[in-house]
C-alpha cells in the first residue's frame, strides 16, 4: 500500500468540481481517496491558484471576470 502513496496522482476535468473562491484566488479541493492505513501519506488536498495564474482561463465577462481586471 505504501507504494501506492508514491505514485503520482492524476487529475481530470471532473476533479475540478470542488473548489472555493476567495478574494485572492481559487482553491481546488481534491480527495486522493487513500485508504485509512496510508492516509498519512495523502497530499493535503488543497491547491491554491491566484487570479494572475488563472487569468488565461477566466472569461473577462464571466462571474470571475472582475477579479482579473
Query: What is each CA distance from 33 to 27, 44, 53, in whole angstroms?
Result: 18, 11, 27
Backbone angles phi, psi at 25, to 5 degrees: 170, -165
- Give per-residue pLDDT as tens, 9-51: 666 777 678 899 999 999 988 776 666 555 565 666 788 999 9
Determine contact, residues 45/39, Cβ cutoff 8 Å.
Answer: no
Record the pTM: 0.66
Please report how many Cα atoms fall inside a 13 Å half-sphere around the Cα of residue 48, on the Cβ side: 6
Amino acid at each position: 500500500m505504501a507504494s501506492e502513496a508514491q505514485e503520482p496522482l492524476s487529475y481530470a476535468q471532473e476533479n475540478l468540481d470542488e473548489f472555493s473562491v476567495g478574494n485572492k484566488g481559487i482553491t481546488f479541493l481534491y480527495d486522493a481517496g487513500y485508504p485509512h492505513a496510508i492516509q498519512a501519506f495523502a497530499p493535503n488536498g488543497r491547491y491554491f491558484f491566484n487570479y494572475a495564474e488563472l487569468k488565461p482561463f477566466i472569461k473577462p465577462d464571466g462571474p470571475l471576470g472582475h477579479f482579473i481586471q
